[in-house]
Amino acid sequence: MQLKLRIWRQKNTQTSGKLVDYDLDGVSEDSSFLEMMDMLNEQLIHKGEEPVVYDHDCREGICGMCGLVINGIAHGPKAATTTCQLHMRVFKDGDTITVEPWRAKAFPVLKDLMVDRQAFDRIIEAGGFISVPTGAAPDGNATPVSKAKAERSMDAAACIGCGACVAACPNSSAMLFTAAKLGHLNALPQGQPERYDRAVMMVEQMDKEGFGGCTNIGECEAVCPKEISLDFIAAMNRDLLRGKLTGKGKR
C-alpha cells in the first residue's frame, strides 16, 4: 500500500507543534498500525531525520500504553480496538491518514505523539483500591460472589487506562475511566466498606486534575477499546450523590 501520512510533530510540552506530511510506500496490509509507524521511522533514520516519538509497549492491546488519534478518532476507525491492534487492512491504498496525540488539558504532550497521563494514576491513588494489608485476607471462598456480580465487576475492570475516553470527549472528561474503577470495586462485596468514600475521593481528584464534566455525549464509550459501558457513569453518579449527602470522602 501507498499512504500519505500527516503526523503531529512537537518538540516538547513548551513549544507548539504542527502536522508534517510524509509519503510511505510498500506498507503490508497485514502489518499493524504501529508496524507501519516503525517502517516510517526506519526510513526517517536512514534519511537523517529524527523518528516520530509515540508510546507503545505490549502491542497486544492490554497494557494501555499506546494511543493515537487516527483520522480524528481515538485508536482509529475499528471499534473495540487499541492502536496497536489496528491493522492496515482497514485502510486502502492511497489513503491519507492523519495521526495526532491525545488532546486534553490534563494530558500534556511530552513530545510528538507522546502524552503525560499521570493524572490517571493520581485518580487511582485517591481511592481506587480496597484497603487490605498483605497477609490479612480470609480464605478466597469465604465470601461467595454471585457470577453476575463478578462478571459486571470484570466488565468494568477490563479498563486498560489508555485515556481514549478523555481524548474522544469534547469536554475532556475522565468520567468513564473513573467510573470503570468504581464499577469494578463497588460491585464486589469486598469493595463495600469504602464504597462511598471511594466515589467521592476519586471524583474530587478527577476534578482537581482539570478533566471536564460529563454531558452524556457517549464518545468515550464509542472509542473505548474494552467497550466499557456508559452505564458505569450513571452508577458512579448514584454512589457519588449518596456519598456527598452522607458526608463521605473525608479521610
Partner 1 sequence: MTTTPSAPPVTTTIPVFTEATLDGKVPVGPIEHVWDRTRFAMKLVNPSNRRKFKIIIVGSGLAGGAAAATLGEAGYNVECYCYQDSPRRAHSVAAQGGINAAKNYRNDGDSVYRLFYDTVKGGDYRAREGNVYRLAEVSNAIIDQCVAQGVPFAREYGGLLDNRSFGGAQVQRTFYARGQTGQQLLLGAYQSLARQIAAKTVTMYTRHDMLDLIVVNGRARGIVTRDMRTGKVEAHLADVVVLGTGGYSNVFYLSTNAKGCNTTAIWRSYKRGAYFANPCYTQIHPTCIPAAGEHQSKLTLMSESLRNDGRIWVPRKQGENRPVEQIPEEDRYYYLEEMYPSYGNLAPRDISSRAAKRQVDAGLGVGPMKNGVYLDFADSIKRLGEKVIRERYGNLFDMYENITGENAYKIPMRIYPAPHYTMGGLWVDYYLESTIPGLFVIGEANFSDHGANRLGASALMQGLADGYFVLPATLPNYLASTKLDKVTLEHAAVKQALDNVESITSRLLNNKGTKTVEEYHRALGKIMWDYCGMGRTAAGLETALKLIPELKAEFWANVRVLGSADDVNQELEKVGRVADYFELGELMCLDALQRNESCGGHFREEYQTEDGEAKRNDDEFAYVGAWQYTGDDNVPLLHKEPLVFETAKLSQRSYK
- Which residue lies nearer to partner 1 by CB, 141 or 216? 141
Minimal distance in Å, beta carbon 12 to partner 1?
7
Minimal distance in Å, beta carbon 87 to partner 1?
6
Minimal distance in Å, beta carbon 241 to partner 1?
23
- Which residue lies nearer to partner 1 by CB, 12 or 96? 12
- Which residue lies nearer to partner 1 by CB, 41 or 98? 41
- Which residue lies nearer to partner 1 by CB, 122 or 244? 122
Minimal distance in Å, beta carbon 194 to partner 1?
10
Minimal distance in Å, beta carbon 120 to partner 1?
7
- CB distance 208 to 249 below 8 Å: no
List strands edge to edge, sheet with 2-9.
18-25, 2-9, 96-100, 69-70, 73-74
Minimal distance in Å, beta carbon 247 to partner 1?
21
- Which residue lies nearer to partner 1 by CB, 100 or 102? 102
In degrees and rounded to multiples of 5, residue 69 shows phi and psi of -90, 115
- Which residue lies nearer to partner 1 by CB, 92 or 215? 92
Q: Which of 206, 156, 212, 216 is nearest to 181 (CA)?
A: 156
- Which residue lies nearer to partner 1 by CB, 131 or 215? 131
Minimal distance in Å, beta carbon 28 to partner 1?
5
